Each structure stands twice: as C-alpha cells, then as structure tokens.
C-alpha cells in the first residue's frame, strides 16, 4: 500500500467509514403504503396526515389536468401560421412538463400517490374523452384535439 489512510480506520477491516448523516426520510425502491412519504420536494408532505392528503389531491388534480390538456380544444388563432405553431408547442411543453412532474411524484413509490394518479387519469379520461363522442366527426382530416396524443 502507499501508506495513505484513504478513509479507512484501523480495526474496521479495511471498510471505509461513513460520516454521520442527519435523520432523513428513507428513499424507498419498492411500493409502500404510509402517510410519511416524500413527494416531489424534500420534506413534503412530511409526517402530518393532513398534508399527505393534500399531496394526494395535488397528484389527482395534476393527472386530471394532463387528461384535460390531452383531450381539449383550446382556442388557437384562426390563421394557422407561426403564432399558432408556437402556441401549440407551448401547450405541448406544458402538458409534457406536467406529465413528467406526475412521473416524479410516482417515483416516491407510495401506493397512495400511485392510486391518486390512476384515479386522476381515469376521471379525466372519463370526463374529457367521452365529450369527444358527442362532437361531430372531424372534417377533412381535422384533429379532435389541438395536441397530438401522448405516447409513452
């Protein structure tokens, strides 16, 4: 050996020492069901059950909004040109950003968050995709929504 310690202490069988870390939430790598979770932000919702319920409502509303953006006809300029293309691109970026935010919330591996996301997508699809059936058929290849369908 070169005579340097490299973080090894005598009597530790050559194992490196781990500095003391403050108490923090555990990062789960499997599904778990508990109100003590970390969703999206460090320390949020924390250990209070009420804030956990707020987090679930937030995830539900987030997924509902994603479905609304995916199935809605938003006002776009009548003249299809650069401005309409920019507006459509911005709406697409908004929808994808919200979808990635929902995915990051799901990466908490909390079963409650998972069920809230599924419920938000289900209710959103039921509410907004069903309204497309009442519309007249598209004319000359016109799309029924302003944004292309999401692909995963």
Q: pLDDT tens digits for 118-145?
A: 999 999 999 998 655 555 555 445 556 6
* pLDDT, position 84: 81
* pLDDT, position 18: 55
* pLDDT, position 99: 97
State the residue for tokens 């919702």: 45
Overall average pLDDT of the 80-103 stretch? 90
- pLDDT category at 86 given cuts 50, 70, 90 is confident
* pLDDT, position 72: 83
State the residue for tokens 């005598």: 10
**With 90 as the cut, is the pLDDT of residue 96 above it?**
yes
Strand, coil or helix: 8: strand
pTM > 0.85: yes or no: no
- Cβ-based neighbours of 30, under 8 Å, separated by 6 or more: 109
Residue 37, Cα to own-chain centre: how many angstroms? 15
Mean pLDDT taken over the chain: 78
- Cβ-based neighbours of 57, under 8 Å, separated by 6 or more: 116
**With 70 as the cut, is the pLDDT of residue 2 above it?**
no
Q: pLDDT tens digits for 17-64?
A: 555 545 545 677 888 888 888 898 888 888 888 999 999 999 999 999
Sign of CA dihedral 50, 69, 103, 22: negative
């Amino acid at each position: 050996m070169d005579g340097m310690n490299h973080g090894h202490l005598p009597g530790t069988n050559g194992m490196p020492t781990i500095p003391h870390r403050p108490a923090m939430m555990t990062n789960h790598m499997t599904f778990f069901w508990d109100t003590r979770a970390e969703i999206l932000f460090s320390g949020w919702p924390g250990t209070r059950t009420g804030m956990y319920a707020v987090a679930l409502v937030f995830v539900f509303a987030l997924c509902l909004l994603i479905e609304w953006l995916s199935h809605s006809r938003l006002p776009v300029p009548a003249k299809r040109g650069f401005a309409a293309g920019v507006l459509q691109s911005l709406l697409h970026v908004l929808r994808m950003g919200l979808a990635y935010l929902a995915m990051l919330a799901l990466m908490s591996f909390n079963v409650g968050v998972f069920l809230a996301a599924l419920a938000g997508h289900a209710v959103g699809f039921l509410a907004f995709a069903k309204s497309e059936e009442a519309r007249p058929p598209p004319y000359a290849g016109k799309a029924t929504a302003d944004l292309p369908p999401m692909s995963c």
